Chain A
Amino acid sequence: MELKTLKTFSIAGALLLCCAVYSGTASGQAVQKQYVADFGAAFTQATVTKARTGMLGLDLSVGKMLTNGLSVGLAIGYDVASFQKNEGIYARIAIAPVLAKAKYYFTIAPAMQLHAIVAGGAYQTIPHLGTDPIGGISKAGLHPGGSIGVGFDYWRFGRQGLGAEFEYNFFDSGTEDLFSYFALRLNYSIIKM
């Protein structure tokens, strides 16, 4: 548990360092008091024992810009983090996160931003497995956890944007120290007043 937690915080620190560029506002990006909705499609992959190749995740997040750089909101999703076809049976584990999410944007060029994510909340596991548990999970359940991540946004179409992000999710499975999975996501974003 301790080693894994240390690793997690090391990664978080590294990601934040990667994002240590100047902050500011550029044309086409969200500013204070506006809302930003992200519609994401992701490749999601569990990084635990017995995990197989991951699959698709669909996510939606809505946040309010508290400042020109910081947004806070809610994110939900449905991520299939391990998938295996075995003798006609589709063994898979899906995870539905419900997270309070904070995003901090760093402007790197006109219409281009990097962002860092920190989120916390609950993960509902939805396993459809054979005999082997994945990451110690064999039953549906609700687990506390969180995520960290980094991403890139390209605001091109007035109040719309395209982006990509990497998010590392982790939660306590109750049987192993941490269940973790990552999502490599493409986002379509809309800014609302």
Chain B
Amino acid sequence: MKFQEELKNSIRKVLPELDMVIGWGKSFDPLHATPHFIRRQEDIDELVISPLSVHNLATYLPGLRGKKVGIVVKGCDSRSVIELLQENLIDRKNVTIFGFPCTGVVDQTKIKKAMGHTGNIESCDMSDTAIVIKSKDKTRSLPLSEMLADKCHSCRYPDAIISDHFVGDRIADPAPAAADYQALAAFEKLSVSERFGYWLKELDRCTRCYACRNACPLCVCRDHCAAESRDPHWLSQENNVRDKLMFQVIHAYHLAGRCTECGECQRACPVDIPVLLFKQKMNKEIRDIFHYEAGVDPEATPPLLSFKMKEENITEKVW
């Protein structure tokens, strides 16, 4: 990325005042990046910003509370930072935010589908429009736009909304007006039994590793999570798909109006269960009822964290 050097310089200046800066670096193969913790000046050289910078690094912030942390954010990641600030889960004075104009990140599952297999990748070259991926027996040039995560196609905030240091030129006019929830709309057309059947089938392969929960920047209950709690006893440890579904429902309800749809839950799932759909459903309801979008205004209060005597769009039952 063009602004990568500018970003490194900007981090170089501030690093002495911070305990660490979290960005992305190279990983086990050319097709992956990995969160990179910069503590020493020489770590800065390994920083890489590219469409492989998929991880939402805001997930690490609540666990590092009390430390002086710098964080590099895409537009979507910055929304998680805002949400964490709103909920008082991190301290603004201790977080230094480095923003950049994001042109989208890839969906590894789409690449895997397009390539057939991604276990033996030897190189991966990015241009503005294509990813050229080489393995031992084939080279494919994939259109970047088709490999981007779904969230990138309806992204309204490619630039970090909140930042202390912004590098690169802002992307002035982001394309779509609002999340259109196409996949959700199609799903909602199914009958209740079809929808239930879909989830029973999809969630059957869940291993209950809770990567979906742990990758979520807003899952902050830690060791008090309903998933493992024995008292209250919401879920059993039985290998029962209804228990797995119950967890996803609890997760989605807990995130209603807080979730910024960064998609980390789904990306983290080792068996590719489309769990983001639950959260999109909740957010669509929140948008319709409260006209609220999570993580865009640090001063706002998420609707389910506030109380009004009279809600505009909810008609109370007259007893």
> Do A and B form a real pair?
no
